Structure 1
């Protein structure tokens, strides 16, 4: 009958240079590293027997401990979504099974909560940026937040606050486009608000509260510049057709037909 092989025993435990990390020696030979919390969890001490199965359990627990500490470092000072943590751990080549166990531990300790993250994100963006709910929703989806959590979080940005914030943005946009005709200015302000993520309904409410007052002098300068370009572009056409094409182009740009006619009349007189 073959002699039963002796189970290895812990003969030495030494500290590493990294705080909270230890080296374990079995039967006088270096065996594996562990963290302090794993050493406490498994009650590892000098003289303890460690068979192959127990060693595998210890190493698996240490993998989770390392992943957990990496996640804590990543979470330090910032809320993160589960997807962001998962991606970060993958970048560090952490095994999938370890990532799942780590996330479960983080959830149990309330260190990761996608709904809480989304609510905080919505409040911050509403307070500090010019982004509307549609853009916020898109950004949260990209971070892996589920649709139900996004929907709940967006209640942190009520319609009244959207109209107020959007009104400030609209005023800035109207100043940027003050050289444009009123119809074109409104169109560009509307387009700008939609691009920033405000819904059509909210944009309508914002525009209804605004008074668009273009600068007549700047608008006249803009029209004169546009007229010169369009008139020159249409020079290959007969005069009557040239006038018609110029009128049509400038009218679609939002300039009044009376102002266009005056410039055409001046052009006729000069010609």
Structure 2
């Protein structure tokens, strides 16, 4: 039977070359060296050599995974995809992930809970967008559901209201109806549902600035009135009224402004 005749340290830390019957046979990591208790004079058959090679492949993949995990939390899918990109064989990836799970170095439930907490404290996303993100990361539905229980209605209201306040400042120079519509749409786009958006808008208790809204109406109305100048009076009035209403202005305010022009609002 073949015998290990020399174990030589490589220049690379933690790596060793194993010589069998006086000839170089295969490399191993320090962890494999220790796990298999390799020593000079130890007998090695083909089966053991294959086990050593497989174990070394896992050790190398494991170290690559650790490098990837050192930067931030990752899901199993992310680690699997990363190792696949590094051309690690699927069977080696499976064994590597098994080891990572045993050492709790990958834990999709922990990842999901951590992500939800981060969004609650520093983000602007609602449950629907969070769910979509976690699905893309490979987290299962149960893990997502469990993590989202942390995002209580009170927390959602606090986060969403802060988002709504920022959106209100962004759109404050628009017609009041449009401002409310865009705030709601912004909340829906960020993953809050319609009921939550309504509560957030109610919490803001927005009130139109009468003078500002009048100035905006006049400015927009004059542009539209000029645009439709080639139409008949009734058609011009209808088109202007319709366009201003679509822009979010109050219908009574539109009619009053048209009346001030000396035109019938009927």
CA drift at 1:8: 2.6
Q: Aligned with 1:83: secondary structure?
A: helix
The counterpart of 2:243, out of the listed 241, 246, 249, is 249
Task: Give the Cα separation in 2 of the matches to 1:41 and 1:135.
Answer: 45
SS in structure 2 at match of 1:32: strand
- Are 2:102 and 1:113 aligned? no
Does 2:190 match 1:181? no
Structure 1 match to 2:142: 148
* 1:63 Cα deviation from its structure 2 partner: 0.5
Aligned to 1:226: 220
Q: Is the Cα contact below 8 Å between 2:177 and 2:250 reproduced in 1?
A: no
Contact 2:176 2:213 in 1 (8 A): no
Matching of residue 216 in structure 1 with residue 210 in structure 2:
yes
Are residue 237 (structure 1) and residue 231 (structure 2) matched? yes
Q: Which residue of 1 aligns with 2:51?
A: 57
Q: TM-score, normalized by length of structure 1? A: 0.91
For residues 84 and 99 of structure 1, the distance between their equivalents in structure 2, rounded to whole angstroms, comes to 12
Determine if contact 1:11/1:26 at 8 Å carries over to the other structure: yes
**Aligned position for 1:126:** 120
Q: In 1, Cα distance between the equivalents of 2:204 and 2:35?
A: 65
For 1:217 and 1:177, locate their aligned partners in 2 and report how far apart those are by CA, in whole Å. Answer: 16
Residue 3 of structure 1 corresponds to: none
| Conserved 8 A contact 2:124-2:159 | yes
- Encode CA deviations 1:173-228: one digit per residue, 9 max, x unaligned: 11211122322222111111111111112112212222212333432333233223
> RMSD of the TM alignment (CA)?
1.8
* C-alpha distance in 1 between matches for 2:32 and 2:170: 61
Structure 1 residue ranges without an equivalent (≥5): 1-6
Counterpart in the other structure of 2:184: 190
- Equivalent residue number for residue 207 of structure 1: 201
Partner of residue 12, structure 2 = 18
Structure 2 residue runs without a partner (length 5+) = none
Please identify, of 256-265 and 205-214, the stretch whose mean Cα deviation from structure 2 is larger: 256-265
Which one is further off, 58-67 or 216-225?
A: 216-225
Q: Secondary structure of 2:204's match? A: coil
Q: How far apart, CA to CA, are the structure 1 residues paired with 2:39 and 2:224?
A: 89
Contact 1:174 1:189 in 2 (8 A): yes
Query: Normalised by the size of structure 2, how large is the TM-score?
Result: 0.92
- Cα distance in 2 for partners of 1:209, 1:222 equals 25
Q: Distance in 1 between matches of 2:146 and 2:85?
A: 31
Partner in structure 2 of residue 163 of structure 1 = 157
What residue in structure 1 maps to residue 28 of structure 2? 34
